[in-house]
Structures are given as structure tokens and as C-alpha cells.
Structure 1
Amino acid sequence: MRAERPGRFNTRPTLEDIRRAPKVLLHDHLDGGVRPGTVVDLARESGYGDLPTTDPDALRAWFAESADSGSLERYLKPFSHTGGVMQSVEALTRVAYECAEDLANDGIVYAEVRYAPALHLRAGLSLEQVVEAVLDGFARGRREFGIRVGTLLTANRNQARSMEIAKLAVRYRDDGVVGFDIAGTEAGYPPIKHLDAFEYLRRENAHFTIHAGEGFGLPSIWQAIQWCGADRLGHGVRIIDDIEVDGDETRLGRLADYVRDKRIPLEMCPSSNVQTGAATSIAEHPIGLLHDLGFRVTVNTDNRLMSKTTLSEEFAKLIEVFDYDWDDLQWFTVNAMKSAFLPFTERLELINGVIKPGFAQLKWNRAHPSA
């Protein structure tokens, strides 16, 4: 347990407290957070007959058990079912709308949700139709629930469509697409294979993040930053391999030192990282050390369905293990808002107008329960 910090607010937030806190989510996959009941409905409507079960509760358990595999490759396999039912405009719009509702109900005020448009073309949709359907769902969600959601268009590492998706992200960046991402199996598919797409995005002053340091080690992080110019790192867990702890002394290697000095955000997803084997447990997750060393760490869900989690539950696990308090919760949240792919003034408005006042009110309520 850590020593008390001067002025530390001592009351540990409960899960209900965390749900009420204004939070920010940067790493969440649209096809990894579909409601099980929606998967069943969409499968029935579309004629998709490959689900392991049509009972929503049993299906929820199946997704979590299948994803809890110990490797990134096996973790990704259940996505064939959620992706399989998201092949129409109506399905994509519904999933995006429900995603916005679920995130808003968890107290999230701003989120960036990513998906791979190329995975939703099997029924004849165009890339543009996919993007517009998702944007429509999130726009309706914003009108009804007040949550703002920016989308990230993801290209798959093992496909040759990254330039096409990058251009799509630039085309729709004034309509709600805030950036680009590349994901999929890391081993054997380094980000430099898509260097032309990243060079194009930089020329267009567009934002992008790269999945790196999850299923592969330091070389993927180094390439994502130094060759490709990533604004953020998706996961980045293996940066811990460049940090040596010897008793009370901690030494950072050149890459880790660079990541910290440049304030490169790490989109960490604790439960998912344990499921894929990137971390052995929540207690042993590198987020604890990286937080203490002052890295730009953010907390995320990755895939709410597969990891059977919410952002509030991710925070609750970290609070339980690392004895985090309100100040830590706010620190992670401000980190995420600072790192969002929104214009500076809009980020500042959310930090100073929503996040900090929201946390201040929650702290005051806990300190004065009878007021």
C-alpha cells in the first residue's frame, strides 16, 4: 500500500461512485461491445446461423470464456460472430446507438470507439455506407444521451487496405471520425508494412493510434513511434520490458524514457491485457508502476463484451489492487481527455467544464454525506 500523499482525499471510491464520475474512454472496439441480446436478434434477422447459443446470458458467458485465452490470436476469434451479424446499415446503426447508450449509462462523457469498416462488407455494403451507418447511430446516441463519441477507423495489419481506410478517415474527419487505427495480430505483421498510410495521415495532419506492445514486444512499440509517428499507443504494455527495477532504484531504457518524456499516451486495458497474456494479473499489470513513474497512462475497456467489463469496473479493479483514490481516478481521466483526438479547446472545455467540476462535486458529497 502506498504512503499517504499530502492532501490526499482518503475515502476510496466505490463502484457506484465511479459510475457517477465523468469518465473518458479512448480504446473501445465497436464489435467487442455488442449486447448479447442484440447479437441474437441480429443473427435471427440476418439468417446468421453460426452462433454457439441463442440464449443471451449463455452467449455472454461464452464470449468471455472464449476470449479468456492467454493469447491475442485466440482472443480475437470470437469476433467472427459479432462481426458476422454487423453486415447491414440497420445493424451497424443499432449497435452504435446501443454502444452510446451503454457508455453514457456508465458515466462516460466522451469516448472514442473504433471499428474496421472492411469487416462489414460481406452483404454488399460500401465502405462509405458502413462509416455513415455508424456515424448515424452515434449521432442519435448523442442527441438522446448527451454523450459525445468520436470514431476511429481501423485497418487490419494482415490486409493491404490501410491506405484506403486512411483516406476514408480523412474524408469523414469533419463528420465524427476523429482518427485512424491499425489492429490485429502483431507477430509477423509489423506496423511499418503500412508506412505509406501513416505518411499520408501525417501529411494530412490527421491523428492515429497503433496497436503495439500487446501481442509483441518493444520492437513493435519502437516502430509505431519512430517509424510510423503514432500519436498514441494501443495498449503499449510491453514498454515495461524497457524498465528495470532493482529494489528502490528504477532505471528506464532509452525507449521507455522517450515515451515518458514525449508524453505518448498509453491506452491500457487491464482485464483484456490479462486475457491475452500481455499481463499475468491485475495486481502484476504494468499500469501500477507506469502510473507511479508518471507515464501518460489511460484506462480503457478494449472489448466490453469479451472482457465482461465496463470502464467503471476496470477502475474498481485498479482501486482495489493499487489502493487508488479520487485523485488517481481524476488523474487517469484527465490523462485520457488530454490525449483525445479532439481540438485543444474542446478538450480543455471538457476538462475544466465537466470533468474537474464533476469530480469536485463527488468528493464533496462523499466528505459531507449528511449535507
Structure 2
Amino acid sequence: MLTLEEIRGVPKVLLHDHLDGGVRPQTVAEIAERIGHRLPVEDPDDLGRWFADAAGSGTLVRYLETFEHTVAVMQTTEDLVRVARECVVDLAGDGVVYAEVRWAPEQHLTAGLTLTGAVDAVREGFAQGTAEAQRAGRTIVARQILTAMRHQARSLEIAELAVAYRDSGVVGFDIAGAEAGYPPTRHLDAFEYLHRENAHFTIHAGEAFGLPSIWQAIQWCGADRLGHGVRIIDDVDTSDPSAPRLGRLAAYVRDKRIPLELCPSSNVQTGAAASIAEHPVGTLADLGFRVTVNTDNRLMSQTSMSREMALLSEAFGYGLDDLRWFSVNAMKSAFLPFDERLAMIQDVVKPGYDTRSLDTL
């Protein structure tokens, strides 16, 4: 089993991280006090524990309610820049070398910001965070994924925004929110537009709802990646552990190398997995799916990329070779151009593991 510090020292790639799910408790408390937003508790340490407890209720709906407080403190240019800057600094400090951070611009307009103004603010925050990390000796590339809320009707507008900014730090599009009752097919016009524009997108699917959500995301909408996708395990027959059998959908996902953006701690909190030790990541990795490891919401799960990998190392006995495999999988699946992905793999990710071995740790 690897230690947290050992894991923190190797390069990691993060594809599924929510900006409003990774705000520092201190930042939430300070901005809330300034703008007069009432929090359930005021002390930052207690607030961090409150977010984790509330998010650990076992239901996705209750989990999503915690975002009312983080979104409330991200409504101005100043506050969005701060949150975005701190996000990049925190990820770089954890050894993340590439991150795609998603957020929903439509949720940040109550104080007068426009959609473009909000995206510009996050872009500025990412630039400041990248520069601050470099001054501390850390290198990180951070990009935005713009999310539309699946229970709203602005997905085409947000998709157009993502395309407009794809040469300015935005690499993709996503839909998020409660899955039940809001299938991805409600947003076909947005996905068809993205296809016409040769743009990348991922879809939250297969977390709370199951196989129909995954099937629609892939076969109807044409998603490049599956946000979570953990419930694909429902199409894998493991009654004979020595010879698991894949259903048609699971086989298609594996054959097409469709990346799974698995978020172990978050999946346990929302009830998609019973525990880390029982998380399908072990089986899916053994079967050769394109598995990636992610944080989802660092505040709500009180986690980091290093912690997620440490939990998997403890549960499944993973060593550095396994963590490198997860990291290379993620970099292969990133929404960067191919040459940039290849350069990151060859020049940053692999060397960060090749210079270390279990014998020297």
C-alpha cells in the first residue's frame, strides 16, 4: 500500500472536478459573511464537516443541495476569480498536472454577471492560479468544461458558449444535475450542435439512474466520455468471478474505449457504491475498461486526487504502476488536441512515474 505522501509526489490527471464542489471552507465562510449569505454553521472547520456530512446522506438529490451555499458565494467577478485561482493552486499542490474543471455558468448570474463575463472570470482565475503554482515550483494545465443544468432549458446556449470559447481555455461541454426525470435526450439539440461543430462533450450518466442513462448518453447523444458511468457494472455478470460476462452495452463501452470518469468517494456518498472496497473500479479496471479516477467534489467528499488514489491503493493493493495506468488513461481521454495529450504523457506523466519505483519508496 502506498502512502498519501508518496502518491502526492507523482503526477496525476483529473477529468471530473466541479469548481463549485471544491471551494475552500474558509473562502465560503469569508464571502458568505461579506455578502450576507446565511450558512448552516459559520466556523470554517465545522463548515467543512457539515458539507461532508450533508453530502454523505446516500442520495444524489440531498448531495446536490449542498451546492446552494457554494454557488451563492460565486456570483461576482471578484469571487469567481478567487475560487478559480484557489482551485488551481490546490490541485497543483496535490500533484495534479492536468485538470478539466467543470462548472455551470448559468448558475452564476444573480449579481449581474453575463455568461461571457462569468467564463472570463474563471479563465482569469485559472491564469492567476497557474502562475501562482509556477512560482511555487508546480506546473499545471487547467481547462474549463462548461456545464448546462439538465433540469433547465439553456443547454444549447451553453453549448454555443463552449464552442465560442474553445480557443480560450474551454475544452468541452457537459450536462449535470439530478438524472431521474431529466434524461440526456432532453438536450439533443445541444449535442447535435456540438457534433456539427466538432466539439467535445461528456455527460453525467450512470451515477444515480443506471444503464438507460448510459445508453442514452452514448447511443442517442454521442458522448465522448461518461461522467461517472459507474453503473455500467450493472451490465456485467460477476456471478462467476473467474469468468465475468459483459452484456451488450458494457461490451460496447469497453470495445469503443469510452472513458469512465469514476469518482470513488463521491459514488459511495451518493449510494452508487456501497464502500470503496466494494466499488466497481476494481472489477472494471481488471476487465480493461478505460477507467479514470477523479474527485468530483473535493469539498463535499473532503478529498483530493491523492486521497482517492490512496483509498484505492489500500482497498485493491494498487502500486505505482497501477496509478500510472489510471493517469495515462485520463490523459489519453482528455479533451486537449492529440499532440498536446501525447506531449503531456511522454514529457510529464510517464517520467513522473518512471523516475520512481516501489523499491525506492
Give the Å deviation of 1:47.
2.1
Q: Which residue of 1 aligns with 2:136?
A: none
Q: Which residue of 2 aligns with 1:22?
A: 11
Match of 1:168 among 161, 169, 193: 161
Give the Å deviation of 1:251.
0.7
Q: Match for 1:40: what amino acid?
A: A
Does structure 1 residue 262 correspond to structure 2 residue 256?
A: yes
Does structure 1 residue 233 correspond to structure 2 residue 226?
A: yes
Q: Which residue of 2 aligns with 1:180?
A: 173
Q: Which residue of 2 aligns with 1:328?
A: 322
Structure-to-structure mapping, 1:3-18, within 5 angstroms: 12-18=1-7
Moved over 4 A (4+): none
Match of 1:90 among 50, 75, 78: 78
Q: Match for 2:142: what amino acid?
A: V
Q: Distance between the aligned counterparts of 2:147 and 2:286, measured in 1?
A: 31
Q: Distance between the aligned counterparts of 2:106 and 2:297, measured in 1?
A: 19
Q: Distance between the aligned counterparts of 1:279 and 1:87, measured in 2?
A: 33
Does structure 1 residue 367 correspond to structure 2 residue 359?
A: yes
Does structure 1 residue 141 correspond to structure 2 residue 133?
A: no
Match of 1:214 among 207, 220, 231: 207
Q: Match for 2:198: what amino acid?
A: N
Please give the per-residue CA displacement for 1:145-181, whole angstroms capped at 9, x wherever unaligned. Answer: 1311010000001000000000000000101000000
Please give the per-residue CA displacement for 1:291-337, whole angstroms capped at 9, x wherever unaligned. Answer: 00000000000000000000100000000010111110000000000
Q: Distance between the aligned counterparts of 1:75 and 1:54, measured in 2?
A: 20
Give the Å deviation of 1:368.
4.0
Q: Which residue of 2 aligns with 1:7?
A: none
Q: Distance between the aligned counterparts of 1:362 and 1:184, measured in 2?
A: 40
Q: Match for 2:317: what amino acid?
A: D
Give the Å deviation of 1:139.
1.0
Please give the per-residue CA displacement for 1:237-268, whole angstroms capped at 9, x wherever unaligned. Answer: 11011000132221100000000000000000
Does structure 1 residue 61 correspond to structure 2 residue 46?
A: no
SS at match of 1:302: coil
The two structures have a TM-score, normalised by structure 1, of: 0.95
SS at match of 1:153: strand
Q: Is the 1:97–1:138 contact (alpha carbons within 8 Å) kept by the matching residues of 2?
A: yes
Q: Match for 2:321: what amino acid?
A: D
Q: Which residue of 2 aligns with 1:81?
A: 69
Q: Is the 2:2–2:314 contact (alpha carbons within 8 Å) kept by the matching residues of 1?
A: no
Q: Is the 2:85–2:129 contact (alpha carbons within 8 Å) kept by the matching residues of 1?
A: yes
SS at match of 2:274: coil
Give the Å deviation of 1:144.
2.2
Q: Is the 1:237–1:268 contact (alpha carbons within 8 Å) kept by the matching residues of 2?
A: yes
SS at match of 1:238: helix
Q: Is the 1:17–1:362 contact (alpha carbons within 8 Å) kept by the matching residues of 2?
A: no
Does structure 1 residue 36 correspond to structure 2 residue 28?
A: no
Q: Distance between the aligned counterparts of 1:188 and 1:231, measured in 2?
A: 22
Match of 1:316 among 310, 315, 322: 310
Q: Distance between the aligned counterparts of 1:89 and 1:250, measured in 2?
A: 51
SS at match of 1:306: helix
SS at match of 1:44: helix
Q: Match for 1:171: what amino acid?
A: A
Q: Distance between the aligned counterparts of 1:368 and 1:276, measured in 2?
A: 38
Q: Distance between the aligned counterparts of 2:239 and 2:276, measured in 1?
A: 21
Match of 2:341 among 339, 343, 347: 347
Q: Is the 2:76–2:113 contact (alpha carbons within 8 Å) kept by the matching residues of 1?
A: yes
Q: Distance between the aligned counterparts of 2:29 and 2:3, measured in 1?
A: 33
| Structure 2: runs of 5 or more not aligned | 134-138
Q: Is the 1:93–1:134 contact (alpha carbons within 8 Å) kept by the matching residues of 2?
A: yes
Q: Is the 1:141–1:147 contact (alpha carbons within 8 Å) kept by the matching residues of 2?
A: no
Q: Distance between the aligned counterparts of 1:219 and 1:319, measured in 2?
A: 31
Q: Which residue of 1 aligns with 2:58?
A: 70
